């Protein structure tokens, strides 16, 4: 089976060319019709006189003789025009239209050329004395009209076939455009259906997921309730055991406290006795140390004064010698310059590791008081560490109170209050924040102190306002 070839694709350019070709063919058809009408009217006018004279010569009244040529010419022109128009639609004139056309054309030609065929008025089967020039003259117009009508029918057939081809092209273009539009609409419809299906599937998945989550939540709630019930049972048992253990612990603690109080009482008595004895020893050692320090200080001061007098004497002698020597040798006999001592030798001063800064600077000229305040080396180390620890605890507490009151100075200024550096102040702020979050007792003491200070500030401000 032979399948018909697929129609070629018609572009918009082909469709535009087809429209232009159809317009050009229609202009040509109008031109053919115009020429045929003009030629027919001209021929009617040209042949009207001869046909009218022919009718009058053959005993037709002059009042109606003039109608003969227009009627015959009108019939001829009508059949020629109608045949041409119908030929444009595929009509092939034959039969009666053919007889009518040729009868009207030959009648017009014979009436117009009768005088040229038989100038002597005698009719013969073949004209013997015909006028060839007159015959040609009166034959041109009728035959031009007949032949132009026949040619016009051919023109119209050709034009019709070509227009049909172009119309087919336009129709094919329209059908292809319509098919393309339908295809695009179908593709769009399919995309919409696919989108709707995807959305529906997504919605269904979301609904399934939500249902699964709800089911899991319900099961989880049930499991938590069971676990909580079990935990409550276990907690109740644990609380009962804990109460029993707590009662036993309290009994043991009461006994332990009673024993500890008895031991503590005896220990206090022992410590009081030992402290009294140690205090007497310390007073004795301190007195001996003060006496020795006074001796050492006095000897050092006497030696320093003697050295100063000797240095001044040497300087005076050197000045006198410089005034007596010649100018060329002023420095030859100068003694080596020495500086007057301004303080005691460092070997005679005791170590001041644990003393505060103000004590070390203010009491350097009071050896008795300084030596009285100085502890022994072992006690100095212990007291120094304890003082540092106490200072850090006080600084942590103060930093926490200032932070809680929202009036905390900078880390550097805060550390300067204690004679420390900025890093030390930053550590105190960090320790204060940590203790506030970890130590409940520390937090309560800081809160109480902050409230106390705030109340004092408020009272002071109120009193100032009232004044």
pLDDT (tens digit per residue) in 219-254 = 999 999 999 998 999 999 888 888 888 888 888 888
**Token code pair at residue 221:** 């709630």
Residue 340's pLDDT is 36
Residue 3's pLDDT is 53
Q: Taking all residues of the chain, what is their mean pLDDT, rounded to a whole number?
A: 77
Is residue 36 within 8 Å of 80, Cβ to Cβ?
A: yes
Is residue 429 within 8 Å of 414, Cβ to Cβ?
A: yes
Which of 50-54, 202-206, 231-235, 394-398 has the least mean pLDDT? 50-54
Say if residue 151's pLDDT is above 60.
yes
Which of 183-197, 242-256, 276-290 has the least mean pLDDT? 276-290
Residue 14's pLDDT is 82
Buried b (16+ CB within 10 A) or exposed e, 291-300: eebeebbeeb
Question: Tokens 């336009």, residue?
Answer: 170
Rounded Cα gap, residues 447 and 436, in angstroms: 10
Rounded Cα gap, residues 429 and 432, in angstroms: 5
pLDDT (tens digit per residue) in 78-136 = 777 777 677 667 676 677 877 887 788 788 888 888 877 777 767 677 777 777 887 78
Residues 6+ apart with CB under 8 A from 114: 54
Say if residue 1's pLDDT is above 60.
no
Which of 19-28, 66-75, 376-385 has the least mean pLDDT? 376-385
Percent of the chain clearing pLDDT 90 (strictly above): 18
Say if residue 397's pLDDT is above 90.
yes
Higher pLDDT, 199 or 286: 199
Give 334's pLDDT tier (boundaries 50, 70, 90).
very low
Say if residue 343's pLDDT is above 50.
no
Residues 6+ apart with CB under 8 A from 252: none
Rounded Cα gap, residues 204 and 212, in angstroms: 12
Of the candidates 364, 361, 430, the residue with the CA atom closest to the CA atom of residue 392: 430
What average pLDDT does this structure show over 157-173? Answer: 84
Rounded Cα gap, residues 349 and 343, in angstroms: 10
Give 427's pLDDT tier (boundaries 50, 70, 90).
very high
Give 5's pLDDT tier (boundaries 50, 70, 90).
low
CA distances from 55 to 71, 111, 373 (A): 13, 8, 177
Rounded Cα gap, residues 369 and 384, in angstroms: 19
Predicted TM-score (pTM) of this structure: 0.35
Say if residue 50's pLDDT is above 50.
yes
**Token code pair at residue 179:** 């098919």
Say if residue 378's pLDDT is above 80.
no
Say if residue 197's pLDDT is above 90.
yes
Question: Tokens 């005698």, residue?
Answer: 122
Give 380's pLDDT tier (boundaries 50, 70, 90).
very low
**Token code pair at residue 92:** 């092939």
Is residue 392 within 8 Å of 359, Cβ to Cβ?
A: no
Residue 324's pLDDT is 62
């Amino acid at each position: 089976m032979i399948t018909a070839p697929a129609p070629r694709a018609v572009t918009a350019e082909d469709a535009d060319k087809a429209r232009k070709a159809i317009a050009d063919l229609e202009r040509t058809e109008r031109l053919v019709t115009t020429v045929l009408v003009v030629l027919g009217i001209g021929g009617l006018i040209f042949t009207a006189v001869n046909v009218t004279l022919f009718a009058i010569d053959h005993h037709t009244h002059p009042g109606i003789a003039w109608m003969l040529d227009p009627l015959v010419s009108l019939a001829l022109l009508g059949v020629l025009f109608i045949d041409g128009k119908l030929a444009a639609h595929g009509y092939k004139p034959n039969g009666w239209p053919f007889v009518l056309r040729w009868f009207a054309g030959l009648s017009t030609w014979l009436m117009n050329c009768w005088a040229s065929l038989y100038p002597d008025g005698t009719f013969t089967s073949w004209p013997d004395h015909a006028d060839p020039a007159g015959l040609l003259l009166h034959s041109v117009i009728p035959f031009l009209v007949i032949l132009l009508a026949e040619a016009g029918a051919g023109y119209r057939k050709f034009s019709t076939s070509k227009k049909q081809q172009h119309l087919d092209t336009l129709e094919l273009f329209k059908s292809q455009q319509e098919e393309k539009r339908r295809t695009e609409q179908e593709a769009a419809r399919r995309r919409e259906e696919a989108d709707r299906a995807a959305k529906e599937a997504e919605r269904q998945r979301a609904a399934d997921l939500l249902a699964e989550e709800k089911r899991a939540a319900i099961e989880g709630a049930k499991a938590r309730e069971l676990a909580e019930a079990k935990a409550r049972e276990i907690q109740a048992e644990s609380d009962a055991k804990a109460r029993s253990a707590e009662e036993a612990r309290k009994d043991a603690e009461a006994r332990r406290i009673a024993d500890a109080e008895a031991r503590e009482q005896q220990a206090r008595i022992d410590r009081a006795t030992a402290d009294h004895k140690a205090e007497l020893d310390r007073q004795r050692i301190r007195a001996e140390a003060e006496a020795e320090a006074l001796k050492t200080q006095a000897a050092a001061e006497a030696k320093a004064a003697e050295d100063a007098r000797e240095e001044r004497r040497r300087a005076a002698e050197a000045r006198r010698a410089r005034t007596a020597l010649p100018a060329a040798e002023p420095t030859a006999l100068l003694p080596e310059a020495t500086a007057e001592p301004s303080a005691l030798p460092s070997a005679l001063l005791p170590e001041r590791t644990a003393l505060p800064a103000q004590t070390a600077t203010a009491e350097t000229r009071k050896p008795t008081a300084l030596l009285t305040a100085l502890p022994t080396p072992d006690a100095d180390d212990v007291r120094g560490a304890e003082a540092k620890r106490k200072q850090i605890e006080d600084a942590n507490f103060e930093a926490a109170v200032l932070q809680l009151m929202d009036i905390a100075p900078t880390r550097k200024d805060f550390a300067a209050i204690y004679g420390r550096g900025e890093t030390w102040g930053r550590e105190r702020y960090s320790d204060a924040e940590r203790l506030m979050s970890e130590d409940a007792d520390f937090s309560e003491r800081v809160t109480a102190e902050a409230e106390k200070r705030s109340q004092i500030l408020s009272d002071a401000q109120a009193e100032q306002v009232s004044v």
